[in-house]
Chains A and B, each alone.
Chain A
Amino acid sequence: MNNRSRAVAVLLAGLAIAASCLAEGATAAADRQMADGSVAWMARVLQVPTTPDIDPPLRDAMAGLVREHVERLRTLVPAWIAEERARQGVGLKPGTLDRAIHNRVVNELALWRLESPGADYDAALARALLRPGICDRPPRDNYMGTLMTWFQAVPAADRPVLLAGERTLLAHWGTHRDALAPPPERSLSEEAADEIARLRSGRTVPDVAMPPLLADAAFKGQLAHDGSDVECALQQWGLARALHRGDPPTAALVSWRYATMKTAEDWSQRLPGADKNADPAAYPPVASMWEVTGWVEVRVTLDAGGRFASARVTGRQLVVPGVTDNPPVAFETLLDAASIAGAPRQFKPVVPPADGSAPKPVALRLNWKLQ
């Protein structure tokens, strides 16, 4: 190589290094921007409302918890971004990274409300939640507002326990939750529906009486997952019944926590195509938006002739971008309805047993892949 060629090579290498440095700088800047955006979004989600009906010491304590947590997020979120870059390697598109980080944030919010920080907290929380009239409060579309409403009503001795529990739960963000209780076999709303059917059908005395607003809606078939005061009362009633039958508060709260947890669906805007005429067995737009894939297992009950009678979800294994360290709790149910709707299409009728016994239920696995 002559001097001229050597000079060109050195120049090209220098340009490559410079380009690489520029690209790295641009990536770092984009990551910082994404991290700042995510932290700012969470700071808004966790904002302590300024409604005047909360006593100042409680408001100050909650604001302190949020400040601490936002500082924690300033370290956590960049680490999540770096983790995702390392996992996905070079060529990671900004949109993919953004989706992964947002998924993780939404899942962390769900995990936060699912986890129990201990028996004392759970006992105090159950006392707060069972307080009559707890559902008769101005709706607070805000985590901290809701928590303050609950905590304000508790006996003085309970408040420090609840605040300490919240501090613990927030400190768990970004960690693997190994003590997370699995979802109950039957959800709170399914159990409630069974009990309502039992109460409707006969003169059975309820274990725990409903408040009138719940009784009115329940027996008119007007229950819905709509964040209303009636839904709040239904959840409160479910918790009260679990405690009444002797479940310890931590166990009783499992169903309640899963029922009240904000899922990815709750965070979704109304999506184009999510209309009532859409095929119920099609890939749900909301699952597509969050890029959720995987399989859902359903148990199909058969009628005496071996034909499809009903289906219920018995298991799932979902892949959610960005959610690898914990179960994707905020996304678990996104494919359930479509799987149940799709089960009759995948099911093939069976020949009933010759001895006249009822056909055994059949397990079906429905795979969901993004096109």
Chain B
Amino acid sequence: MNRPLSTRLRRAAAGLLLAALIPPALATITTASAPAPSASSPLVDGVSSRIADDAAMAFWYGDFDRLEALYRSVRQSTELVDGGTSRLQWFRKGLWRVYGRDDATDPYFAQLEALTHAWASKRPNSALAQLLYARALHARAWSFRGGDYADHVLPAAMKEFHRYIALEKEQLDRNASLLKNESTADIYLLMIGRTAVAPFDQMHALALDALARNPADDSGFQELATASLPKWGGSADLFDAVAREAARRARPGSGMAMYAFLYDDVSGDFPGDLFETSDVDWPTMRQGFRDWLARWPNRYMLNRFARDACHAQDKPTTLEVLNQIGDQPLERAWGNQFESCRRWAREP
């Protein structure tokens, strides 16, 4: 359980070769195609939803200047707003609503590619324009591949998928100098790394680099955590190690907040019950929830705390948090489990 991280990273690297076989929709945060505005976002109040909405709408209407102005205002902000997410992350969530439309077909993504390519060509010195084009290539790659298991994808489609991922990589490499201060470039490289089965230490370095470029942008560690899941070729103890490292590095002074966040975020990605098949340490996760909520109180995390406490069969904590929630649970945090958890928690 507590083996050094480097050992676990090496062991995991081989396992990552399996990654290409995993259907992306089951695993990824940033490439999954579930674009529903607001409802797909863990937090939708105040500043955060405004940033995401503004970014989504500016992109949706093809207004690059408005996007660029918004990006300038968020890209170096280190403030964590509302539920504890950086402005830049909310901005990317807004973009994702446009890139990640799961009901769209290839002609839609071809238009996205053409639009962002035109922006990038017209504005060679705009980091955002280059990033948007790279991300459009990524979205188009997945439009060819689809969300099925790799061995169910037609060879021609898989070939196009790899071709577009390679084009995205080229686009980021070609603009490496321009993008040297953009944490988003690291996030996109991590996304490529996961699909292209990059060595884990390389991905780890990218996650650290993203954090160095913008200390509030911990999406790199979220990507790394996803890549370390068993279904992507990682393992339970590797994930735990990454979660602990993320808690240590990503949000200094916030205790184990990231540990709780990452485990909660991927709870459906471990086979079966998280508390049986992962290496999660509930007391640590519980403390992480408390740390998160002390700094960034919000309804979603509070509801998830109660739900996870219920799954961990920690009745006193479940009851304590349910009492804070009262009779108005946040449905999207619970699925259909609120009533059963409440009944269980109230049982003598």
A218 to chain B: which residues have CB within 8 Å?
107
Given contacts A209-B115, A219-B105, contact A203 B62 (CB under 8 A): no
A136 to B59, CA, bound (A): 11
Do most interface residues of chain A lie in helix, strand or loop, or is the interface mixed? loop
Q: Return the chain A residue nearest B64 by Cβ.
A: A132
A132 to chain B: which residues have CB within 8 Å?
61-66
A349 located at the interface, meaning its Cβ lies under 8 Å from any Cβ of chain B in the complex = no
Proximity string of chain A (172-214) to chain B, C-beta cutoff 8 Å, 1 when within and 0 when not: 0000000000000000000000000001100101100111111
Contact of B110 among A135, A206, A220, A233 (CB under 8 A): A206
A215 located at the interface, meaning its Cβ lies under 8 Å from any Cβ of chain B in the complex = yes
B338 located at the interface, meaning its Cβ lies under 8 Å from any Cβ of chain A in the complex = no
Contact A211 B115 (CB under 8 A): yes
Contact A210 B63 (CB under 8 A): no
Q: Return the chain B residue nearest A213 by Cβ.
A: B60
Contact A133 B61 (CB under 8 A): yes
Contact B112 A133 (CB under 8 A): no
A156 to B110, CA, bound (A): 36
Given contacts A209-B115, A210-B115, contact A215 B107 (CB under 8 A): yes
B118 to chain A: which residues have CB within 8 Å?
209
A158 to B62, CA, bound (A): 23
A229 located at the interface, meaning its Cβ lies under 8 Å from any Cβ of chain B in the complex = yes
Q: Return the chain B residue nearest A205 by Cβ.
A: B114
A216 located at the interface, meaning its Cβ lies under 8 Å from any Cβ of chain B in the complex = yes
A229 to B61, CA, bound (A): 9
Contact A199 B103 (CB under 8 A): no
A214 to B101, CA, bound (A): 13
Contact A136 B57 (CB under 8 A): yes
Contact B105 A212 (CB under 8 A): no
A199 to B110, CA, bound (A): 9
Contact A233 B61 (CB under 8 A): yes
A205 to chain B: which residues have CB within 8 Å?
110, 114
B111 located at the interface, meaning its Cβ lies under 8 Å from any Cβ of chain A in the complex = yes
B111 to chain A: which residues have CB within 8 Å?
199, 206, 209-210, 212, 214-215
Most buried by B among A135, A199, A200, A216: A216
Proximity string of chain B (62-104) to chain A, C-beta cutoff 8 Å, 1 when within and 0 when not: 1111100000000000000000000000000000001001011
A203 to chain B: which residues have CB within 8 Å?
110
B108 located at the interface, meaning its Cβ lies under 8 Å from any Cβ of chain A in the complex = yes
Starting from the known contacts A132-B63, A216-B104, A219-B108, 12 additional A-B residue pairs (CB-CB under 8 Å) come to A132-B62, A132-B66, A133-B62, A133-B65, A199-B107, A199-B110, A200-B107, A205-B110, A210-B111, A211-B61, A212-B62, A213-B61
A interface residues (Cβ-Cβ under 8 A, vs B): 132-133, 135-136, 199-200, 203, 205-206, 209-216, 218-220, 229, 233
B interface residues (Cβ-Cβ under 8 A, vs A): 57-66, 98, 101, 103-105, 107-108, 110-112, 114-115, 117-118
Between A and B, 20 residue pairs with Cβ closer than 8 Å are A132-B65, A133-B63, A133-B65, A136-B60, A136-B63, A199-B110, A203-B110, A205-B110, A209-B115, A209-B117, A210-B62, A210-B115, A211-B62, A212-B59, A212-B111, A215-B107, A216-B101, A219-B107, A220-B103, A233-B62
